[in-house]
């Protein structure tokens, strides 16, 4: 039976370059791969045919022989073909390297490594975090060499194709029934070697520098938030893409406010007279001072909510509230007159445990009495 033309198998023209052949192979291999067509002998045979066509047409020497002699070039062991075209020797083990190499990093040549990501820890005040701010930062990094433009080769020269792997970046070693593919020991997977390294970067393609960046911090960030600056990390090797810079935010402790999600909390001390009689007191907010009305007979720990005086999160949503916790302050540094007035006030209550004026104290003392009575039974 006449064998199909290799170019027709892949659906490409005879003038197709390696990129076009590889693209056609990926499309067909994914369609006919045995994992996608279980128990389908026709699909398995088609996949073997596609794979062997691809292996011949992407090998310059084999392709030249095929163009000149056709399938005869691979019969009776020609070109060291190991069984000839269509001989059933297709190996499925490296299909993921061929088809999905761009995704998983496999394939015929190891790509130049993307630059490393960097992290910068930025400490902000609460006001900066809530309102947003633009900050300049200076970071040490690796940048592309200006002299060789990342190639690592001396001006006027360029990297040479590796003589060990012939540019593939990987070599194969047969161990029994298996073929092991590993990075080329000469070029370390790059597919090329630098004979004359650049004097500026010594063949690395990158140089150490410090750079200054202007970082815009959006309003509403909080401790733990991270801002990514794409491409501001270290430069990649041999012109590969740069990594990213991550700015890690932490917010300093504030002397007045504590933040919890979008709400702010603060303690407001008031004197005994205001707690008992009521009144107004100025309290701080991030937008300025406002008056807080304190009702009479206010107890320590009471929370007053001021709506919309909190934080608007960077993730959106409603603005939080400011919650003021009242703390009744015991008077200190009393003079004799003040002490006398307090004693007079205490007597008017009927003593320290006046039932009418101090209901919580009365309740507490009754509880203590009951506790000890129960112990003595």
Residues making up the annotated binding site for Zn(2+) are: 145, 148, 162, 165, 184, 187, 198, 201
Per 3-state DSSP, the chain is made up of helix, strand and coil in percentages (nearest 5) of 30, 25, 45
253 vs 269: CA distance, rounded Å: 20
196 vs 359: CA distance, rounded Å: 92
Let me know if 137 is exposed, middle or buried by CB neighbors in 10 A (0-12, 13-18, 19+): middle
Element (H, E) at 345: helix 336-348
Residue 262: helix, strand or coil by DSSP?
A: coil
285 vs 306: CA distance, rounded Å: 9
Residues in the chain: 377
Residues 6+ apart with CB under 8 A from 107: 97, 98, 101
Tokens 């750079």 locate to 211
Q: 288-294 and 303-306 as β-strands: parallel, antiparallel, unpaired?
A: unpaired
240 vs 242: CA distance, rounded Å: 7
Tokens matching residue 265: 């909390």
Sequence ranges of the binding site: 145, 148, 162, 165, 184, 187, 198, 201
Task: Please choose, from the candidates 115, 116, 118, 114, the residue with its C-alpha nearest in 3D space to the C-alpha of residue 246.
Answer: 118
């Amino acid at each position: 039976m006449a064998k199909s033309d290799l170019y027709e198998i892949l659906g490409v023209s005879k003038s197709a370059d390696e990129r076009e052949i590889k693209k056609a192979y990926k499309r067909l291999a994914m369609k006919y791969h045995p994992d996608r067509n279980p128990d389908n002998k026709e699909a398995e045979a088609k996949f073997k045919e596609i794979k062997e066509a691809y292996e011949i047409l992407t090998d310059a020497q084999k392709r030249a022989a095929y163009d000149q002699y056709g399938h005869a070039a691979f019969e009776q062991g020609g070109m060291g073909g190991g069984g000839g075209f269509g001989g059933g020797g297709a190996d499925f083990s490296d299909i993921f390297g061929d088809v999905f190499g761009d995704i998983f990093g496999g394939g015929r040549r190891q790509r130049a490594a993307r630059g490393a990501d960097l992290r910068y820890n930025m400490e902000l005040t609460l006001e900066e975090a809530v309102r947003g701010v633009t900050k300049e930062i200076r970071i040490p990094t690796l940048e592309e060499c200006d002299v060789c433009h990342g190639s690592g080769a001396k001006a006027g020269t360029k990297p040479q194709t590796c003589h060990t792997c012939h540019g593939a970046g990987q070599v194969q070693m047969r161990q029994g029934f298996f073929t092991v593919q590993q990075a080329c020991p000469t070029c370390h997977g790059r597919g090329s070697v630098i004979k004359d390294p650049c004097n500026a970067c010594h063949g690395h393609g990158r140089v150490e520098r410090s750079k200054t960046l202007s970082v815009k911090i959006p309003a509403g960030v909080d401790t733990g938030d991270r801002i990514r600056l794409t491409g501001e990390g270290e430069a990649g090797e041999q012109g590969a893409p740069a990594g990213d810079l991550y700015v890690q935010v932490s917010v300093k402790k504030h002397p007045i406010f504590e933040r919890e999600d979008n709400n702010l909390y603060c303690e407001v001390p008031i004197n005994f007279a205001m707690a008992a009689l009521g009144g107004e007191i100025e309290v701080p907010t991030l937008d300025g001072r406002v008056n807080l009305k304190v009702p009479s007979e206010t107890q320590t720990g009471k929370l007053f909510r001021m709506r919309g005086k909190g934080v608007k999160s960077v993730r959106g949503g409603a603005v939080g509230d400011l919650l003021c916790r009242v703390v009744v302050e015991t008077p200190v540094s009393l003079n004799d007159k003040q002490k006398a007035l307090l004693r007079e006030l205490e007597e008017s209550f009927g003593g320290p445990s006046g039932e009418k004026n101090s209901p919580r104290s009365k309740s507490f003392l009754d509880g203590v009495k009951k506790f000890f009575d129960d112990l003595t039974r």
